[in-house]
Amino acid sequence: MSQADRLPSFAQTANDVSSDAKRRRYRKILFLTWFLTLDLIMFGAFVRLTDSGLGCPDWPGCYGSVTPLGALQSIREAVQVMPEGPVTLPKAWIEMVHRYVGGLLGLLIVSICWMAWRYRSALGHSPVLALVTLVAVCVQGAFGAWTVTHQLMPAVVTAHLLGGLSLLGLMTWLAARERSHPAVSQASQGKFKWALLGLGILFVQVALGGWVSTNYAALACMDFPQCHGSWWPDMDAASGFALVRGLGEMPSGEMISQPALTAIHWVHRNAAWVVFAYWGTLAWRLRADAGLRGPATLVLCLLVAQLLTGLTTIFFQWPLLIAVLHNGGAAGLVLGVVTLLTRLAKPEPQRLSVQSTLH
């Protein structure tokens, strides 16, 4: 072979190595952002469960300052007026750290969107999904602001929670298609529509769980499996599930009643059995496929963990750590289900790495 004939081969090899370097760079930032998204959802639960959502009652700053340090005088005055109120220095820091991390997450997703477009040839993917994720994080930021300006209105807070889990789902979709896995059988791919239906069922249950949390209804039923000693306790579902009302209020403006809180808790508790039965059966069947075994096993383990943390929340009166873990378990279920859907929807074999093709 002449020198002229060998030059294109060397050029192609150099181009392949360059493309692989771009993919590695993209994947590093992608997986970092995915991990930060999961962490932020967990921290968001901590913010909500410690009543820190109004630690800084304005947005995006804290009494017009970048940090609570610049708002010390305003915070002290608020504490003097309401010593047990929503504004304290620790709560202000908790809320602001949540906002700082959210801002960092937004910047990372901007970089992912730019890299997805710039390296689209090397990645072999359209940048559309990354662009959708960028739009989603902007919408999520808007709901974060409305959470404060609407004084923790339950409908807005629950929408903010669902937005965070939707963002995690999009990040998981982006990350899952970059991971190699054994081929999924054609028989398993036929279960895609059942997994998609299961995702819808899961999101309904997550919304119900968010409604329980934002209305502080976790302790509305202190016994199990019955509620107030009855299988069908006194409930006011119309008031409990009214969307247009303030925190702790009925649609009429009166303080929310115990029957309304009971309805919120009871519906979430019993809907959990539907999710447990549906995903327990489907994940067990999908686990037989080598290409789905990892995420299917994760879903099964998290179903059991959610059952245990849910019961612990009732019997031990909502301990903070368990409540945060229960929220994290919901995020983990979204992660596992979206990973299953991504693999079920991709029948083609995974792309081989450049390193393996060079040998």
User: Is residue 4, in this structure, part of any structural domain at all?
Assistant: no
Whether residue 84 sits in one domain with residue 148? yes
Within the chain, which residues score under 70 in pLDDT? 1-17, 318, 347-359
Strand partners, 227: 230
Whether residue 194 sits in one domain with residue 126? no
Whether residue 270 sits in one domain with residue 164? no
Whether residue 315 sits in one domain with residue 194? yes
User: Is residue 229, in this structure, part of any structural domain at all?
Assistant: yes
pTM of this prediction?
Answer: 0.89
- Choosing from 137, 164, 179, the residue where a domain stops is 179
Give the domain extent around 264.
Answer: 183-352+355-359
Contacts of residue 222, Cβ cutoff 8 Å, sequence gap at least 6: 314, 317
Whether residue 92 sits in one domain with residue 23? yes
Q: What is the pLDDT of residue 353?
A: 39
Whether residue 228 sits in one domain with residue 256? yes
Whether residue 247 sits in one domain with residue 175? no
User: Is residue 114, in this structure, part of any structural domain at all?
Assistant: yes
Query: With contact defined as beta carbons under 8 Å apart, do 347 and 186 qualify?
Result: yes
Whether residue 65 sits in one domain with residue 168? yes
User: Is residue 95, in this structure, part of any structural domain at all?
Assistant: yes
User: Is residue 10, in this structure, part of any structural domain at all?
Assistant: no
Whether residue 189 sits in one domain with residue 175? no
- The answer to whether 178 is a known catalytic residue is no
- Choosing from 142, 159, 179, the residue where a domain stops is 179
Q: How many domains does the chain have?
A: 2
Catalytic residue among 84, 95, 178, 348: 95
Give 144-194 pLDDT, tens digit per residue: 999 999 989 999 999 999 999 999 999 999 999 888 888 899 989 999 999
Whether residue 170 sits in one domain with residue 206? no
Q: What is the pLDDT of residue 124?
A: 87
- Choosing from 159, 179, 199, the residue where a domain stops is 179
User: Is residue 318, in this structure, part of any structural domain at all?
Assistant: yes
Q: In a 3-state reduction of DSSP, which class is residue 249? A: strand
**DSSP conformation letters of 160-218:** HHHHHHHHHHHHHHHHHTTS--PPPPHHHHTTHHHHHHHHHHHHHHHHHHHHHHHTT-T
DSSP H/E element including 28: helix 3-49
Helices (H), 287-316: 293-315
